Structure 1
Amino acid sequence: MDRYLEYRKDIITCCQWLCQNGFFGTLLSAGGNVSIRVPDEPALVITPSGRPYMDLVPSDICVMGFDLNRIDGHLAPSIETAMHAGIYQTRSDVGAVVHTHQTYASIFALINQPIPALFDEVCLAIGETVDIVPYAFSGTPELVENVKQTVDNGCNCFILKNHGALNLGQSLKDAWKNAELLEKTAQAYYHALSIGNPVSTLPDSTIEKVRQLRAGIGHL
């Protein structure tokens, strides 16, 4: 029996929804990648390299150790496996990673501009600022290090400069939802900036309340 089967099936469901809704750039794309941390093991379940998402079957999904050695699966894992492993090793609270090429977040990846605190419900889920991860070529140790040094701020969404977006969560459902929240926020912020009027960010008192709630020391 495949003890990783449910993780594999969940990843395929998530990937196909993201693909059909434009989060990977095109319907036929194999860009982006999704992973789940294996509980109580230094391992992750992750999408393979170069395989169109709409064609995936459970046996295509790879299981890799944090040391990047193969545990199960017959295909080459995502080129970004080391990045996912680095996130799990840096952030013990993260149980899943969704790396996308979603359109509006990618705009901010090109203009190298973080997204500030704009909506309280979004900040509660993803943190107060969507920071920029400095550019490095995909799949390189330099990108892994840049990601590890940026994601330790406790937030759940990040923009990869000239690349795309990173969405983290305690579960795959959370990371998937955070990808949607990021795109909603990026789209609203882009259109607000295009008008030319000053953009209203959340007041400091609200940001402090969000910090307390995210730290588990506050209440509504």
Structure 2
Amino acid sequence: MRPYIISHMMTSVDGRIDCPMVGQLSTDEYYIALERLGACSKLSGRVTTALECTAVKEENSPMEGNPIGHTSVYVAKQSDEYTIIVDTHGKLRWQSNEADGHPLICIVSEQISEKYLDHLRELGISWIAVGKERIDLRQAVELLNEHFGVKRLAIVGGGHICGGFLEAGLIDEVSIMVAPGIDGRKGQTAVFDGISHTECAPYKLKLESVEQWETDIVWLRYKVK
């Protein structure tokens, strides 16, 4: 059992999700559409979180100490919705146990030190530590369902975390808001980025709905076949 997982992103016409560029066009519609997806927990990667989340105190190198070396789950608080952060090596330092009005859950790998988990415990932040060298995303979302009751999950940033979930076969729906602008800069992150299996065939989608907004944004929703 795992949550129903939606990737919800706003992009330029050329598929870039560089936040400052998209922000110059519009972001209100993104959050309106996110609300229309229904009640769900929100998941972000470390880079997006460090840029946008006010609960982050600072980003630093991983805390020293022996890795715990086993799967670990700590439930600090139960809730209907959570703000979930994927931070493989525990580089983020926190000043609050909530973000966007919901309790935090940090997903890390088993390389994490007990010292970092103590940091989370002292602040009342839940965690899931799973995966020997890198996070086992499939097991992580199963544990989100089992221990936290997460039934629906929206991935809200960024491209590498979306790519990781796609590569793991964990995305059920793709929600894309195409903003009326072109980025064109070389090296900017795409909606799905960093997939390592270059021999993969394209991931096939089934179009479910199309909406044109008054601001010239087009909202596309697909099911993953």
Length-normalised TM-score, structure 1: 0.29
Higher relative contact order (CA 8 A, sep 6+): 2
- Give the structure with the larger helix fraction: 1
- Give the structure with the larger strand fraction: 2
Length-normalised TM-score, structure 2: 0.29
